[in-house]
Amino acid sequence: MTYLATFHWGWLLASLLLGLAMGWIAVVHRGQGVSKNTARWLAVLAAALVAAAVTHVIPGRFGYWLDLGLIMFALYLGGCAVGSWLRDRVLSRHQA
C-alpha cells in the first residue's frame, strides 16, 4: 500500500482533485435513487472487492490494478463529498 502511495501519488492526487472539482460543480438533483435491492447488490459488490483486495485473492497485475482502482475511487468519492460540502458552506445563503 505504501508502494502505491509513493509511486502513484500523482494519480492519487489527480483523482482527489477531480473529485473536489466534480463535487464543487455538481448540482444536487433530488431525483429518484436506486432501489433498495440494487443498493444491496452494490454494497455486496463493494464489500467483495474490498475483501478481495485485503486478502490478496487476486494475484499479480490484476490485484495491483484492483488495489490502485479502489484507492483512486475512494479518494474520488471523498473529494466529491468534500467539494460538495465546501460549496454548500461557501455558497449557502443563511436564512434567519
State CA 88 to chain mean position distance. Answer: 19
In this structure, the chain runs to a length of: 96
Read off the pLDDT of each residue in 66-70 and give the average, rounded to a whole number: 91
Give this prediction's pTM. Answer: 0.81
92: confidence class by pLDDT, cuts 50, 70, 90:
confident
93: confidence class by pLDDT, cuts 50, 70, 90:
low
**Tens digit of each residue's pLDDT (9 = 90 or more) over 1-58:** 677 778 889 999 999 999 999 999 987 677 677 889 999 999 999 999 999 999 999 9
State the DSSP H helix or E strand holding residue 62, giving kind and residue range, or none if neither: helix 60-91
Cell of 68: 490502485
